[in-house]
Amino acid sequence: MTMGYTKPRKYRLHSLVQGTLFVFAITLMGSGFALAAEDKTSPCDNLPHADHPKARLKNGDLDAVVFLPDPEKGYYRASRFDWSGVVGCLSYKGHTFWGKWFSNYDPLLNDAITGPVEEFRSEEGALGYADAKPGDSFVKVGVGVLRRLDSTPYKWGITYPLIDGGKWTMHVHPHVIVFQQKLQSPLGIAYVYTKTLRVEKGGVVTLEHRLKNIGTKKIETEVYDHDFFVLDGRVTGKGIVVRFPFEPRVDQPFDESLAKIEGKEIVYTGDLKPKTMVGGYITGYSKNVSDYDILVEDHTNGISVRQTGDTPISKFYFWSISTTVSPEAYIHLNVPPGKDQSWTIKYQFSADSK
């Protein structure tokens, strides 16, 4: 069913999440915008688990379904990843690049999410976690105020209880969604986090970010895009190459029957089977912004995606399994009270027409 809007409307949802008021707002802008509009020719029509708040963005040959943050009905309600910018499906010229890569779905599973999602991760795992006692609160940007469960170190695989998700506001246009989360916490950590997801003609998706510190404590963390590329849903293996502008070195040698490093490339030599992984921490990059330039090519299907950033890489983890390829480039954020920091990630998709 298509829902069109000829003038701006504002929707606000008030609900209790873990006993704390969570305010959720969406503004739908522009005539002709369709929420989850049907398009019989797109691979994104048959989206799994599509019964969640979402928006459909189209521009030229680019088609994307984006799930929207919602504390009660949202596609993703776990505590690892930023709730905004979750692309359930993206197709370009009939080929797919983002989609479901996992077998088990539950909105409270930390990894039941699709790319290009982001995680803010500090040395202690999350902001304020080290100082929190069991039962006390800590913060993850893009998620909210969470409750520490026990005395063990932070674990990314655990879904921590949400105490306060702050106030989410979304402005949805035909080619753009602007997400904003405003969060106050009892820890002195407070911020306004804005992410703009833009789809452009020529197969470009841009993620523009701004983190403004409105609290009393410095916000120092790292953030990375966990891309979860799904290349036409095919098995990760022969024909897939990941290229860098530098010569990558990996902390643990790859199984060369599956992949190997050749100069500035990771080349898959065999198809990955279920429960098989190729990955590790990568070094070899410099402090130059030009090193944030990653090209993933599938020579078999004639498709590729180039990911670039405007901030130097601070850490790099490469991860791939049979269903997805994820080059995870981290950047460092250091935002004093009253200041802000901005960064942009761009994806350029290329494909032979089907």
Q: Which amino acid is at 258?
A: L
pLDDT band at 352 (very low <50, low <70, confident <90, very high): confident
The string of pLDDT tens digits covering residues 283-316 is 999 999 999 999 999 999 999 999 999 999 999 9
pLDDT value for 268:
98
Mean pLDDT confidence for 43-54: 91
Whether the Cβ atoms of residue 224 and residue 120 lie closer than 8 Å to each other: no
Coil, helix or strand at residue 245:
coil
**Residue at 94 is within a domain:** yes
In a domain, 255, yes or no: no
The predicted structure's pLDDT at residue 69: 97
Residue with the two structure tokens 């954020």:
333
Q: What is the pTM of this model?
A: 0.89
**Domains contained in the chain, number:** 1
On the question of pLDDT at 4 being above 50, the answer is no
Half-sphere exposure of 254 (CA within 13 A, CB side): 28
| Domain assignment of residue 351, yes or no | no
Asked whether residue 351 carries a pLDDT value surpassing 60, the answer given is yes
In whole angstroms, give the CA distance from residue 90 to residue 42. 9
- Mean pLDDT throughout 333-339? 98
Range scoring the smallest mean pLDDT among 8-12, 69-73, 175-179, 328-332: 8-12
pLDDT band at 46 (very low <50, low <70, confident <90, very high): confident
Assess if residue 208 is contained within a domain. Answer: yes
**Residue 253: inside a domain, yes or no?**
no
Cis peptide, bond prior to residue 116, ω within 30 of zero: yes
11 belongs to a structural domain? yes
Q: What is the mean pLDDT of residues 210-215?
A: 98
Hunting for tokens 């246009």 — which residue is that? 173
Which residues have a Cβ under 8 Å from the Cβ of 56 and sit 6 or more positions away?
Answer: 34, 35, 36, 37, 39, 44, 63, 64, 65, 66
Residue with tokens 């500035």: 264
DSSP lists the bridge partners of residue 21 as 16
**pLDDT tens digits, one per residue of 135-181:** 999 999 999 999 999 999 999 999 999 999 999 999 999 999 999 99
**Where is average pLDDT lowest: 4-13, 102-111, 162-171?**
4-13
150-155 LR contacts (CB < 8 Å, sep 24+) = 153/125, 154/124, 154/125, 154/126, 154/129, 155/125
Q: Which two tokens stand for residue 151?
A: 């005395």
202's torsion region: left (phi>0), alpha (psi -120 to 50) or beta? Answer: left
> Using CB atoms within 10 A of its CB, is residue 123 exposed (0-12), middle (13-18) or buried (19+)?
exposed
Report the C-alpha gap between 46 and 31 in whole angstroms.
25
For 3, the token pair is 């829902």
Helix, coil or strand: residue 170 = strand
Residue 45 in domain: yes
Strand partners, 222: 121, 332
Q: Which domain holds residue 123?
A: 4-226
> Can you tell me the distance from the alpha carbon of 340 to that of 35, in angstroms, rounded to the nearest whole number?
32
Residues 6+ apart with CB under 8 A from 131: none
Question: Which single residue is written with the structure tokens 């403004």?
Answer: 212
Query: What's the number of CA atoms in the CB half-sphere (13 Å) around residue 152?
Result: 8
Q: Is residue 98 part of a domain?
A: yes
